[in-house]
Structure 1
Amino acid sequence: MKRKFGVGALIAAGTVLIGSVPAMAQDGGAEAVQAVMDNLWVFIAGILVFLMQAGFGMVEAGMTRAKNVGNIMAKNLADMCIGALAFFAFGYGIAYGTDAVSLFGTDGFFLSGMSNAIDGGLSGPTDFFFQVVFAATAVTIASGAMAERTKFTAYLVFSFFMTALIYPVVVHSFWGGDGLIADLAIGDAKFGDFAGSTIVHSTGGWAALMGAIFLGPRIGKYDEDGNPRALPGHNIAFVVLGVFILWFGWFGFNPGSELAADNVVMHAALTTLLAAAAGGLVAGAVIWRKSGSLDVAMTGNGVLAGLVGITAGTATMNPMGAVVTGGIAGAIVVYSVLFFDRRGVDDPVGAISVHGVCGVWGTLAVGLFSRYADGFVATDNAGLFYGGGGDQLLVQLIGVVLVFAWVTVTTGILFAVMSKTMGLRVSREEEIGGLDLHEHGVPGYGPDVTVGSQG
């Protein structure tokens, strides 16, 4: 974890906010109390999303080789440090500032004009805190796909541009309220992505795809005939622990995206739980049938695929829709990982498939399974299977394509420029020796720790 929010600090924050409730209730009534509770809940949800950085680090470290574990952790640490400052300086303003040509904001840089008031809605600091941890998530997704062969300095540059510009433009296009995707409509159908299957996860997934393509495969990944070889990760316990940390954090990611403490929160928590469970079960069954044994790492990726898949429709699908969406995501991730592997795209952790491909599926699933549910859905449009027709599915597809085009073009340009200037990939000797030693000066594990083959 990059920064620890201790229990004492959380209790203190809650005490300050809750302690102000009686006075606010006297002054402003129920609305003032609700505003305090909304801010407190979104803050707690943001802490859960912050914790996901630790989960990403554990999954990526476990799925890669021991000689690179320190480098993996360094990149995840850098994502939060650089991401928070880049989003503070530029990204938040581009994402939520005054609209310019439906593409980016033009003010609010360095949080200028931010208000601390919480009456009537979220305070500026609450909103920024919640949004910045999402930005860090988007960039960290690419870390795993680029693992074991990327120059650390090049990755730092990528992390900056991702959180300062590329991701914020995507956010402005939809969550900013007046951007290109927010304005998409076919008939009465408008694009819907409640917590970010496309806006966050596919954005990170497509950046991961471009990074893996520009870097090329790791040494030894393919034989002389181009057939993929397994390069097993060094610690399956890390992987499973990381999956559970991410699953835990997702209860902030999805329910917190309501940005209020209301009845949508627990509905989103329920659909999040069910989709993840279905994704893990189906992925495990599929890979077991294909390979003859249960691949624990792939099963973990199935859980994550289910989580990514439900993220767009977590508030608008009923429980059965969540199970179906998560289960299909679990099957998709297995075949997608194998697809990219066989086509020379070396993604050590399956990030492209989990976040990019399953993010697309989750976004399209809104156009199939979204429905009216007890008066608290986040969209007025039902999916195809609930009488909504095909308009919702079509508008979802258009949004997916727009995000894919923006991210692949911009990250492609960025990686191309870095490849020609500072260089993107480490030398052969550095890659074989391990990035821990060559990029950071010390091995990730001491000499008294047995970690198996370095590969």
Structure 2
Amino acid sequence: MQSQIFELQYALDTFYFLVCGALVMWMAAGFTMLEAGLVRSKNTVEILTKNISLFAIACTMYMICGYAIMYGGELFLSGIAGSETLTSDALTTSAENGFGGDSVYSAASDFFFQVVFVATCMSIVSGAVAERMKLWAFLWFAIIMTGFIYPLEGRWTWGGQDVFGLYNLSAIGFFDFAGSGIVHMAGAAAALSAVLFLGARKGKYGPNGEIRAIPGANLPLAALGTLILWMGWFGFNGGSVLKLGDIASANSVAIVFVNTNAAAAGGAIGALLLARVIFGKADLTMLLNGALAGLVTITAEPSTPSALQATLFGICAGLLVVVSILALDRIKLDDPVGAISVHGVAGLFGLLIVPITNPAVSFIGQVVGALTIFTWVFIASSIVWAMINVVIGLRISDEEEYEGADIAECGMEAYPEFTL
């Protein structure tokens, strides 16, 4: 009888991991549609190409070496059997070590769930560098980011290893439930480094410091992308509970789903109201980014707040992201989709408020962890961007930027019926 319970839990937790992983994979479609909607039509094909390519590169590099760096083991996933069977060894050596109310699942399902997180991190960079970066420069960076930079900071956090042998983030109280810092702020740090190297799009800022809006070509696509991301986030946060096979875990999953949704709703409301105060009208792009900021914020700890607290956290994130987007524009940091504000600023905010609802977490630990992640990713990314810039250059020419990256980088247009 006990063996049957083991087998049922193993099957249920493995299946739950796989379904949540598939939801997170669908977030790739969300990022793709969001970015395609917020860039000009002449850059649509290139942004689509980047997003699908980066997902393929992330999956391949994490298989080759990223997973081994982050969690230990052999390269090329050779340590994961092609066909796993339920054995006592499989039960006792699973990620949470045994039955007893803990998670028991296939190692392959763990890899699948983890690899889609890597792709999410890299997707954040794509939108921030849109409309002016060379496609192949971006893809070369994706290889290093997904194969080395992200896995190493993941090793120090979720992997439980010391930071260059100096200190252990878990031991000093750092906590990040599903990746506000480990995934989202890390992606934003790489994006910020790239934006500093690239500079702004031509015409974005006037000679006297005026800020010129560059509207996206397809706001229905951007709205669709946001709703896809909102849905995929249930897998992102819900799957990070790591199991479903007992009453306590099922209740925890339900709470995480409710809080994830509440924070997104709060973020949308907060951004919508502040945009109305500032601009005198409802700004759709701020509304969309507010919902995403709420989602990023709650990702750090969606299991301990009440639904009301999650909503309030989301509202704060929505207000914060509007202020951040406007502030970055004032200092001439051109981020076409608001990725640095949504994932970086809201990600940091999410980390810092965890101790409010989870007293076991140290505020100092959160600060040290955030600084560690940001410093490592920013410095490592800057080195890689600098090397790529020397070898092949980062930015397309002024003429290519004027004509659009679609023709320059991909040789085709998204809407060819409008051309002769």
The two structures have a TM-score, normalised by structure 2, of: 0.91
2:42 — aligned with what?
Answer: 67
Deviation string for 1:284-321 (max 9, x for gaps)?
10011100001101100000000000001111222222
Out of 196, 213, 217, the residue aligned to residue 179 of structure 2 is 196
- Is the counterpart of residue 254 in structure 1 residue 275 in structure 2? no
Following the alignment from structure 1 to structure 2, what is the Cα–Cα distance between the partners of residues 141 and 271?
A: 23
2:85, 2:156 → 1: CA distance? 26
Aligned residues: 395
* Alignment equivalent of 1:108, drawn from 70, 74, 80: 74
Which string of whole-angstrom CA distances, capped at 9 and with x for unpartnered residues, describes residues 105-157 of structure 1?
Answer: xx421012124345522212101110000000000101000000000110110
Alignment of 1:27-426 (within 5 A): 28-97=3-72, 107-115=73-81, 116-117=84-85, 119-120=90-91, 121-180=104-163, 183-186=169-172, 190-261=173-244, 262-263=249-250, 264-370=252-358, 381=360, 392-426=362-396
Letter in 2 for 1:164: G
Question: Secondary structure of the residue that 1:29 maps to in structure 2?
Answer: helix
Tell me how far apart the structure 2 counterparts of residues 183 and 108 of structure 1 sit (CA, whole Å).
24
CA contact (8 A) 1:68 1:434 kept: yes
Amino acid at match of 1:30: I
Q: Decide whether the 8 Å contact of 2:157 with 2:170 is kept in 1.
A: no
* In structure 2, distance between residues paired with 1:141 and 1:269: 23
- CA distance in 2: counterparts of 1:184 and 1:168, whole angstroms: 16
Q: CA deviation at 1:185?
A: 3.7
Which deviates more, 66-75 or 175-184? 175-184
Cα contact 1:175–1:182 (8 A) shared by 2: no
Check whether the contact 1:79–1:136 (CA below 8 A) recurs between aligned residues.
Answer: yes
Specify the alignment match of 1:445 in structure 2.
Answer: 415
Q: Distance in 2 between matches of 1:27 and 1:362?
A: 41
| Counterpart-to-counterpart distance in 2, 1:367 and 1:394 | 10
| C-alpha distance after superposition, 1:81-101 (max 9, x if no partner) | 11111110011111111xxxx
SS at match of 1:137: helix
- Could you tell me how far apart the structure 2 residues matched to 1:309 and 1:117 are? 38
Conserved in 2, the CA contact under 8 Å of 1:43 and 1:126?
A: yes
Q: Which has the higher contact order (CA 8 A, sep 6+)?
A: 2
Counterparts of 2:328 and 2:418, CA distance in 1: 37
Contact 1:78/1:156 (8 A) holds in 2: yes
* Structure 1 residue aligned with 2:403: 433
Gaps (5+ residues) in structure 2?
92-103
CA distance in 1, matches of 2:146, 2:115: 9
Contact 2:47-2:126 at 8 Å conserved across structures: yes
* Deviation for aligned residue 1:325: 1.3
Partners of 2:127 and 2:337 within 8 A in 1:
yes
How big is the alpha-carbon RMSD for the aligned residues of Structure 1 and Structure 2? 1.6
Give SS of 2:373's match: helix
Aligned-pair CA distance for 1:182: 5.2
What is the alpha-carbon distance in structure 2 between the residues aligned to residue 117 and residue 270 of structure 1?
Answer: 34
TM normalised by structure 1 equals 0.84
User: 1: distance between equivalents of 2:253 and 2:2?
Assistant: 27
SS in 2 for 1:248: helix
Aligned partner of 2:233: which letter? W
Could you give the per-residue CA deviations for residues 403-443 of structure 1, whole angstroms, max 9, x where no partner exists? 01001100011111111121000001100000111111111
Q: CA deviation at 1:227?
A: 2.1
1:369 & 1:94 partners in 2: Cα distance? Answer: 32
The one-letter amino acid paired with 1:93 is A
SS of aligned partner of 1:321:
helix
Q: Which residue of 1 aligns with 2:101?
A: none
The DSSP-based 3-state class of the residue aligned with 2:392 is coil
- Give the partner amino acid of 1:65: R
Given that 2:297 and 2:314 are in contact with CA atoms closer than 8 Å, whether structure 1 keeps it comes out as yes
Partner Cα separation in structure 2 for residue 78 and residue 315 of structure 1: 34
Which whole-Å CA distance do the structure 2 matches of 1:249 and 1:365 have between them?
A: 23
- Native 8 Å contact 2:184 2:296 kept in 1: yes
- CA separation of 1:360/1:117 partners in 2, compared to 1, >3 Å: closer, same or farther? farther
Could you tell me how far apart the structure 1 residues matched to 2:62 and 2:211 are?
A: 38
**Residues 203 and 407 in structure 1, CA contact (< 8 A), matched pair in contact too:** yes
Distance in 1, Cα, partners of 2:74 & 2:254: 33
SS class of match (1:423):
coil
For residues 38-71 of structure 1, give each alpha carbon's deviation from its aligned partner in whole angstroms, at most 9, with x where no partner exists: 0000100000000000000111111110000111
